[in-house]
Amino acid sequence: MHNGAGVTPSAEGLEGTQWNVVGQIYTPKLLSNNAFIWHAVVPADTFVPPHIHPTQDEWITMLTGELEIEFGHTKGAPSVQKAGPGDVVRMPTGEEHGIFNRSGAEATCVFGVAPSRKLFELFGALDGVTEPEELVRLSALHEVDFLPPPPDAG
Protein backbone atom coordinates (compact mmCIF):
# COMPACT_ATOMS: atom_id res chain seq x y z
CA MET A 1 0.00 0.00 0.00
CA HIS A 2 1.37 3.38 -1.00
CA ASN A 3 -0.79 6.42 -0.57
CA GLY A 4 -1.09 9.40 -2.85
CA ALA A 5 -2.14 12.99 -2.32
CA GLY A 6 -4.71 13.66 0.37
CA VAL A 7 -5.23 13.98 4.12
CA THR A 8 -5.01 11.23 6.71
CA PRO A 9 -7.45 12.34 9.45
CA SER A 10 -5.98 12.73 12.94
CA ALA A 11 -8.00 9.87 14.45
CA GLU A 12 -7.40 7.42 11.58
CA GLY A 13 -4.65 5.31 10.09
CA LEU A 14 -4.14 4.50 6.44
CA GLU A 15 -7.06 2.30 5.35
CA GLY A 16 -8.12 2.03 9.03
CA THR A 17 -4.83 0.35 10.00
CA GLN A 18 -3.53 0.35 13.57
CA TRP A 19 -1.09 -2.00 15.31
CA ASN A 20 -0.15 -2.98 18.86
CA VAL A 21 3.64 -3.30 18.78
CA VAL A 22 5.35 -4.12 22.10
CA GLY A 23 2.42 -2.59 24.00
CA GLN A 24 2.47 0.65 22.01
CA ILE A 25 -0.24 1.70 19.56
CA TYR A 26 1.09 2.64 16.13
CA THR A 27 -1.18 4.33 13.56
CA PRO A 28 0.32 4.71 10.06
CA LYS A 29 -0.15 8.16 8.54
CA LEU A 30 1.99 8.18 5.37
CA LEU A 31 3.64 5.47 3.31
CA SER A 32 5.74 5.85 0.16
CA ASN A 33 8.98 4.34 -1.08
CA ASN A 34 10.76 7.38 0.33
CA ALA A 35 9.25 7.62 3.81
CA PHE A 36 6.97 5.97 6.37
CA ILE A 37 5.40 8.05 9.15
CA TRP A 38 3.25 6.83 12.05
CA HIS A 39 1.65 8.24 15.18
CA ALA A 40 2.52 6.40 18.40
CA VAL A 41 0.88 6.20 21.80
CA VAL A 42 3.58 5.07 24.22
CA PRO A 43 2.14 4.01 27.59
CA ALA A 44 4.15 4.48 30.78
CA ASP A 45 6.66 1.69 31.47
CA THR A 46 6.80 0.45 27.85
CA PHE A 47 9.87 0.42 25.65
CA VAL A 48 11.39 -0.61 22.35
CA PRO A 49 14.54 -2.64 23.10
CA PRO A 50 17.90 -1.47 21.75
CA HIS A 51 18.15 -2.06 18.01
CA ILE A 52 19.66 -0.81 14.75
CA HIS A 53 18.10 0.14 11.41
CA PRO A 54 20.91 -0.74 8.98
CA THR A 55 19.05 0.70 5.97
CA GLN A 56 17.07 3.68 7.33
CA ASP A 57 17.27 6.98 9.15
CA GLU A 58 14.66 7.23 11.92
CA TRP A 59 13.31 10.20 13.85
CA ILE A 60 10.71 11.00 16.51
CA THR A 61 8.81 14.27 16.93
CA MET A 62 7.49 14.44 20.49
CA LEU A 63 3.92 15.66 21.00
CA THR A 64 3.19 14.96 24.69
CA GLY A 65 4.98 13.34 27.60
CA GLU A 66 8.62 12.33 27.83
CA LEU A 67 10.75 9.52 26.43
CA GLU A 68 14.31 8.47 27.16
CA ILE A 69 16.44 7.46 24.20
CA GLU A 70 19.49 5.32 24.87
CA PHE A 71 22.28 5.40 22.29
CA GLY A 72 25.39 3.22 21.99
CA HIS A 73 24.53 0.03 23.88
CA THR A 74 27.41 -2.05 22.56
CA LYS A 75 29.91 0.79 22.98
CA GLY A 76 29.93 0.68 26.79
CA ALA A 77 27.46 2.52 29.00
CA PRO A 78 24.68 3.93 26.79
CA SER A 79 24.16 7.66 26.48
CA VAL A 80 20.65 8.51 27.79
CA GLN A 81 18.89 11.56 26.39
CA LYS A 82 15.42 12.80 27.36
CA ALA A 83 12.94 14.14 24.82
CA GLY A 84 9.76 16.10 25.58
CA PRO A 85 7.05 18.01 23.69
CA GLY A 86 8.39 19.69 20.55
CA ASP A 87 11.73 17.88 20.63
CA VAL A 88 12.98 15.88 17.65
CA VAL A 89 15.04 12.74 18.20
CA ARG A 90 17.48 11.85 15.40
CA MET A 91 18.56 8.23 14.91
CA PRO A 92 20.71 7.97 11.77
CA THR A 93 21.21 4.76 9.82
CA GLY A 94 23.26 2.28 11.84
CA GLU A 95 22.94 4.17 15.17
CA GLU A 96 22.13 1.85 18.09
CA HIS A 97 19.09 3.09 20.00
CA GLY A 98 16.43 2.00 22.47
CA ILE A 99 13.29 3.97 23.33
CA PHE A 100 11.94 3.96 26.90
CA ASN A 101 8.99 5.60 28.64
CA ARG A 102 10.11 5.77 32.26
CA SER A 103 8.14 8.94 33.00
CA GLY A 104 5.13 7.37 34.72
CA ALA A 105 2.77 8.95 32.16
CA GLU A 106 1.69 8.26 28.58
CA ALA A 107 3.65 9.88 25.76
CA THR A 108 2.55 10.56 22.20
CA CYS A 109 4.79 11.22 19.23
CA VAL A 110 5.19 10.94 15.49
CA PHE A 111 7.85 8.54 14.21
CA GLY A 112 9.30 8.43 10.75
CA VAL A 113 11.82 6.46 8.73
CA ALA A 114 13.41 7.10 5.36
CA PRO A 115 13.41 5.24 3.10
CA SER A 116 10.39 3.18 4.16
CA ARG A 117 11.98 -0.19 3.23
CA LYS A 118 10.16 -3.04 5.08
CA LEU A 119 9.05 -1.33 8.30
CA PHE A 120 5.34 -1.03 7.42
CA GLU A 121 5.23 -4.77 6.71
CA LEU A 122 7.16 -5.49 9.93
CA PHE A 123 4.60 -3.67 12.07
CA GLY A 124 1.82 -5.72 10.48
CA ALA A 125 3.75 -8.90 11.29
CA LEU A 126 4.45 -7.78 14.88
CA ASP A 127 0.87 -6.72 15.68
CA GLY A 128 0.13 -8.44 19.00
CA VAL A 129 3.35 -10.51 19.11
CA THR A 130 4.46 -10.96 22.73
CA GLU A 131 7.25 -13.55 22.49
CA PRO A 132 10.66 -11.80 22.49
CA GLU A 133 12.28 -14.48 20.30
CA GLU A 134 9.57 -14.09 17.65
CA LEU A 135 9.86 -10.30 17.76
CA VAL A 136 13.62 -10.55 17.15
CA ARG A 137 13.19 -13.15 14.38
CA LEU A 138 10.53 -11.19 12.48
CA SER A 139 12.42 -7.93 12.88
CA ALA A 140 15.61 -9.39 11.39
CA LEU A 141 13.61 -10.50 8.33
CA HIS A 142 12.48 -6.87 7.90
CA GLU A 143 15.86 -5.10 8.29
CA VAL A 144 15.69 -4.23 12.00
CA ASP A 145 18.40 -5.82 14.12
CA PHE A 146 17.79 -6.10 17.88
CA LEU A 147 20.89 -6.05 20.05
CA PRO A 148 21.67 -8.73 22.62
CA PRO A 149 20.97 -7.74 26.21
CA PRO A 150 23.96 -6.35 28.11
CA PRO A 151 25.96 -8.91 30.14
CA ASP A 152 24.64 -7.53 33.44
CA ALA A 153 20.96 -7.87 32.37
CA GLY A 154 20.76 -11.14 34.34
Residue 77 has what pLDDT? 76
Asked whether residue 87 is assigned to any structural domain, the reply reads yes
Residues 57 and 92 sit within 8 Å (Cβ to Cβ):
yes
Q: Which domain holds residue 88?
A: 17-143
**What is the pTM (predicted TM-score) of this model?**
0.92
Model confidence pLDDT, tens digit, residues 55-86 = 999 999 999 999 999 998 777 778 999 999 99
pLDDT > 80? residue 153? no
pLDDT band at 12 (very low <50, low <70, confident <90, very high): very high
- Asked whether residue 1 is assigned to any structural domain, the reply reads no
According to the model, what pLDDT value does residue 154 have? 38
Please count the structural domains in the chain.
Answer: 1
Asked whether residue 89 is domain-assigned, the answer is yes
CATH code for position 64: 2.60.120.10
Judge whether 48 lies within some domain: yes
User: What per-residue confidence (pLDDT) applies to 52?
Assistant: 96
Residue 127: band (very low, low, confident or very high) from pLDDT cuts 50, 70, 90: very high
What integer pLDDT is reported at residue 73 of this predicted model? 78
Q: How far is the C-alpha of 96 from the C-alpha of 78, rounded, in Å?
A: 9
Amino acid identity at 75: K
Alpha-helical regions (H) of the chain: 119-126, 132-141
Domain assignment present for 67? yes
Count how many Cα atoms sit within 13 Å of the Cα of residue 140 in the half-sphere of its side chain.
9
